[in-house]
Amino acid sequence: MTVFVQNLINGIISGSYYAVLGVGLTVTWGVLKMINIAHGDFYMIGAFMFYTFSILMGFPVVPSIIIGIAAVFILGMVMEKFVLAPSLGRGKFGDTPFILTLAIGILLQNIAQLTWGEKNVGVPYFNDAIFQFMGLTMAGQRLIVAAVAMVTLIVVMMVIKKTRFGWAISATAQDTFSATLMGINTKQIYMVTFGIAAGLCAIAGCLLAPIYGINPWMGGSIQLKSFVVCIVGGLGSVEGSIVAGLALGIIESYVTQFLGSGWQNVIAYALVIVMFWFRPAGIFGKME
């Protein structure tokens, strides 16, 4: 029973940041109707920004995280405004945004390589304590990751469901033309939404940097896991991404326990195949 509960807790912790990353990707799809191939690279830049301010410049942890997230949020808006917006304004833009975000990802990787180097760098744990409770073991750093991720998800849901800005995002996602007629500045919504998605990546990057280390190519696996979460949950569904992220984390935890860590990705991508077979729109997605 202890093993079962331990794996459940580990899965929820992992799933919480999968959910944060998935929400960022699915919001981008819901509003801009495009897949962001550079999603994982904003995660990487967020980690490097945290490393720069906390280690190289000696700032305290919390200000370093806040500055890092703000910097990536602004970077995301700049990229949308000056790189993506021209193609999004052309009506049927086809594969252009896909190619542009691929180019943005390669650009960010090369900038990181030239700025910080190729070698893996690290930052200290925010809390290196190990807590024991009724036979369960929980690392302080991972508990912080889960707590911040859960708060982030709640804030995102509250903003989308309870604020005028969130309603504007939802309206733009449902029908851009009608939203424009209602006086919503859809171009601004595009820009800010892309910035928010980048900022969510940065939150995960800052929190996970002490656990996984930092290098210019660290976003690759995160990008793939974000795709899995979005497809299983339903592209454009925030609730679906949260459920799918938590479910993926829990499944991976039990797979690691009983089959080994090498089976994690096998199971994750098998879920995508099964979902395409039985429900292509995802758990919470709507068939069009």
Would you call 223 exposed, middle or buried from its count of C-beta atoms within 10 A (0-12, 13-18, 19+)? buried
Distance (Å, whole) CA 268 – CA 198: 23
pLDDT by residue (tens digit) across 68-102? Answer: 999 999 999 999 999 988 876 554 445 677 888 99
pLDDT by residue (tens digit) across 193-246? Answer: 999 999 999 999 999 999 999 999 999 888 888 888 988 888 788 888 999 999
Q: Which of 31-45, 157-171, 274-288 has the lowest mean pLDDT?
A: 274-288
Residue 74's contacts (CB-CB under 8 Å, 6 or more residues apart) are 195
Q: Which CATH architecture has domain 2-278?
A: Orthogonal Bundle (1.10)
Given this model, what pLDDT does residue 221 score?
Answer: 84
SS3 130: strand
**Averaged over 51-60, what is the pLDDT?**
95
Highest mean pLDDT: which range of 3-12, 159-168, 191-200: 191-200
Q: How many residues does the chain have?
A: 288
Domain ranges of the chain: 2-278
Distance of CA 264 to the CA centre of its chain: 19
Return the ∠ at Cα 74 (arms to 210 and 123), rounded to 5°.
10
Rounded percentage of the chain residues whose pLDDT exceeds 90: 49
- Asked if residues 39 and 80 have their Cβ atoms less than 8 Å apart, the reply is no
Given this model, what pLDDT does residue 275 score?
Answer: 80
pLDDT of 107 over the 50 cut:
yes
Given this model, what pLDDT does residue 284 score?
Answer: 75
Distance (Å, whole) CA 69 – CA 246: 23
pLDDT of 1 over the 70 cut:
no
Rounded percentage of the chain residues whose pLDDT exceeds 70: 95
Nearest alpha-carbon partner for 22 in 253, 278, 274, 249: 249
More confident of the two residues 249 and 134: 249
Given this model, what pLDDT does residue 91 score?
Answer: 47
Given this model, what pLDDT does residue 42 score?
Answer: 97
Given this model, what pLDDT does residue 93 score?
Answer: 47
- Asked if residues 146 and 204 have their Cβ atoms less than 8 Å apart, the reply is no
Nearest alpha-carbon partner for 193 in 39, 17, 10: 39
pLDDT by residue (tens digit) across 252-265? Answer: 888 888 877 777 77
pLDDT of 280 over the 80 cut:
no
In the chain, the amino acid numbered 76 is G
